[in-house]
Every structure is written in structure tokens, then in C-alpha cells.
Structure 1
Amino acid sequence: MNVRETLLEVVYSILPITLIVAVLGVTIGRLPAEDFVYFAVGTVMVILGLTLFFMGAKLGFLPIGEVMGSALVERGKLWLMVAVGFVMGFVVTVAEPDVQVLAGQVATVSEGAVGKLLLVSSVALGVGIAVALALLRMFLNVPLIYLLGASYLLVFTLGIFTSPNFLGVAFDSGGVTTGPMTVPFILALGVGVASVSSKKKSSTDSFGLVALASVGPILAVLILGVFYR
């Protein structure tokens, strides 16, 4: 594990937005010096926190995901692979901080009409089903374009019938599920499945899982909007 390389990756990611906020704070916002101190301290804490998180993901999430994926294929039980994919997609989504933040904001704005638990459960259910279908696609050698095309056709169809209040929330739900908890594990799980499956040529077939995982919660929230008036 190269700590310096991971730290530089985080710094390069954080530095642009840090500079933009600092310039705007001086020129337009004219923030007091105390706020700049808090901002600087917070930036350092974010950099250190993300560095530790990515190191943990590379040391723990990625290897265990690949091991689980390959072990599922070697057992030769398709239902077990689909079931584990669903459970893991559901669990990592519930643990995703971005999902919790979005659900909290929706609950606040809606004044409790759409509860935090309800939204988190819907998003996690959508991701779980999408991951299960994505693993099934890899095993059955179904072209990715077919699933993505059908999924987004269904998204736009449901958008016509769902409540307008749920449209923005639905697409934001797809965005927040591509966070630091969900993506590393799902990608590693897909690499493990693709690397062992005899029907696949290479581990590059695992790509597309995140695309399907992000459309799953969009569909789930849109369906929720159709029935939740």
C-alpha cells in the first residue's frame, strides 16, 4: 500500500474545489477570518479522512469483494450468487453516507411526509435488485446495452406518471449511490465474478455494474412516487 500515492490522489481531488471556495470567499463572500480557519481545518481533516478511507478500501473492500465474487461462481449456484448480490447491494447502500444525507434532507424538506427510513429502504432495495440483475447479466452473457436501454426506457416512462416532487429526488438517488462505500465493493465483486466465470473473457466485463446500480434506485424512487401521493 503506497500511502504517499493515495494521499496525492486525495489532494489532487480536493485542491481544485478548495481553491475555488477560498477565492470566492475572499472576492465575493468576504468571509471572516474565523470561518477561513474552520475551512482550512476542515479541509485538512477531509484529506486525512479520505486518505485513510481509500487505504482501507484498497486493503479490505477490494480484496474481499473479489474473493466473494470468485467464490460465488466456483460454487456454481446461480441463485446463491444473485441472492448475495442483492444482500450486499442493499447493505452497502444503507451504509453509504451520501444516501443518509439525501434521505435526511428529503425528510426535512417534506416535513416528515417522506420518512428517512422509507427513502433509504427504497434506494437500497433498488440498488440490491440492480446488483443482482447485473451479476445475472454477467453469468448469462447478456449485453449491457440491453439492460441499460430497457432500464432508462422504463425510467422515462415512469417519469410521466410519478409525482413531480419525486422526479428530482429519484435522479439524485441514483447519484448518491455512486459513493465511496458502494462503488469499490460493487466493482470488486464484479471483478471477482468475471475473473472466474468461464463465459467471460476478462475482468473488464465487470464494468457496467455501477451504471446498473445507479439506475436501480432511480426506478425504485419513481415507483414510490407513483403510489405515494
Structure 2
Amino acid sequence: MGALKREFLEVFYAVLPIIFVIALLQVSLIHMPLADFFQFLLAATMTIVGLALFLFGVKLGLLPLGESLGSYLPSRGFVLILLFGFLLGFVITVAEPDVRIFASQINDASEGLTSENLLIYSISLGVGISVVVAMIRTVFDLRLIHILIPCYVVVFTLSFFVPEDYFSIAFDAGGVTTGPITVPFLIALNVGVVSVLAGRNGVSQGFGLVALASIGPIIAVMILGVLFS
């Protein structure tokens, strides 16, 4: 119960400044109807409770699971590391709340520029491939810069062919993958893999996955834009 209480306090202190600013604007400038203001307070309370429980669940179950899977996979062979790395990266991103909210907003704002589900699956595919690249980097002890530079060369090359709408969506897609499910789980997975590979630096090889997980969706959405243009 102590861990759950700490989670509630962390979320409460994170959301409190927002509540304070809105309350200050309410009494000084906005003067929205009291019913709307009380609805905001209710929504803020629900956000605190829901987010605290959500993050507690992630730390309680997903992080230990990711690290356990990461430490188990190397014993099953290189192909299974890549296969399950891709599958886990894909399904975790499909479940990521930030990705679903982003795809819904794009669908509403663009008036059908792209299918909501197609965008979610494209982003998830990009993350899955990024995890595969990250596993290859970990197993063969490659430097992160030797992977990121070619990836950004691909991004800059595709930028000449992608419609402007998809260009903007692609770079935002890279940001929404850094959400409360995807990042903790994938880092735990990679750290687990590093922990059982002899001669690997836990810091230099265990981290850097977020950079790869961000650039994968950018490339995936750019390719989607080229195909649909």
C-alpha cells in the first residue's frame, strides 16, 4: 500500500499546478460557469486516481515482466530475440494510450486523411522494427550513433517525397511512442537482454532504445504518406 500511496502523491503533485493555474484563471479572467468549473475539478480528480492506478499497475506488472522476458530470450536463440522483440514492440504500442489519442485526434482534425487504425498499426510497426534493430545493436554490441545516423538519412530523404500533412504527422508520431507503457516496458526488456550478455555495458547498451523507438514510427508514417500520396 505504501507504493500505491507514493504513486498517488506523485501524480497529485504533478497535476496540482494545472489545477492551480486553471483555478487562478477562473477567478481572475475566464469566469466560466460554475458547472463547467466543477466538471473540470471532477475530471482532474478522476485523472489523478486513474493515472495513479495505471502507473502503479505498470510498475507492478509490466516492468518486472519486461525485464524477465529480456533475460530469458537470449537463451532461446537470436531469431527468437528478434521475433519476440518485434511482437512485443508492436503490441505494446498498439496498447499505448498516447498513440490511440493521437490517432483519434488526427482522424478528427484531418477529415479522413488516414484511417485511425491504419495510423496506429503503422506507428506500432515502426516501433516493432525499431525494437528489432535495438536487439541487433545489443547482441552485436553496435554503437547507437552508427544506427541513428543512417535512420535520419532515411528520414531526410523521405521528407522530399512525403506530403506536408504526413510530414507533420510523422514527427508527432515519433513523440507519442514515448508514453507510460511503451518506454518503461521496452527499456526493461532491453536491460533484461543486456543483463545476461557477457561483456555488455548496462548503461550504454541498456538505454538508447527510446531514440530508436521514436525514429521508427517517423519512418513508418512517412512511408505511409508516400504510399497514399
The verdict on a shared fold, with TM-score over 0.5 as the criterion, is: yes
Cα distance in 1 for residues equivalent to 2:162 and 2:176: 20
**Compared with structure 1, are the counterparts of its residues 129 and 4 closer, same or farther at alpha carbon in structure 2 (3 Å cutoff)?**
same
8 Å CA contact retained: 2:141, 2:205:
no
Name structure 1 gaps, 5 residues minimum.
Answer: none
User: How many Å separate the matches in 2 of 1:72 and 1:129?
Assistant: 17
| Partner residue in 1 for 2:36 | 35
Alpha-carbon RMSD: 1.5
Structure 1 residues 17, 189: closer, same or farther in 2, change over 3 A? same
- Cα deviation 1:65-92 (Å, max 9, x = unaligned): 00000000122x1111011110011101
Structure 2 residue 194 is the aligned partner of structure 1 residue 201: no
Q: Secondary structure at the match of 1:118?
A: helix
Contact 2:127 2:213 in 1 (8 A): yes
User: 1:38–1:160: structure 2 CA closer, same or farther, 3 Å change rule?
Assistant: same
Q: Does 1:215 align with 2:215?
A: yes
Is 1:74 the counterpart of 2:75 in the alignment?
yes
Instruction: Give the fraction of aligned pairs with identical amino acids, expressed as a percent.
Output: 47
Distance 1:18 1:146, change over 3 A: farther
Task: Give 1:166 shift.
Answer: 0.5
Structure 2 regions of 5+ residues with no counterpart?
none
Counterpart in 2 of 1:4?
5
What residue in structure 1 maps to residue 173 of structure 2? 173
- Residue identity matched to 1:166: Y
Secondary structure (helix, strand or coil) at the match of 2:159 reads: helix
1:106 CA drift (Å)? 1.9
Match of 2:51 in 1: 50
What TM-score do you get using the length of structure 1 for normalisation? Answer: 0.93
Q: Deviation of residue 149 (structure 1)?
A: 1.8
Equivalent residue, structure 2, for 1:88: 88
Mapped to 2, the partners of 1:174 and 1:210 lie a distance apart of 10
Return the TM-score normalized by structure 2: 0.93
Residues 18 and 155 (structure 1), Cα distance of their counterparts in 2 relative to 1, 3 Å cut: farther
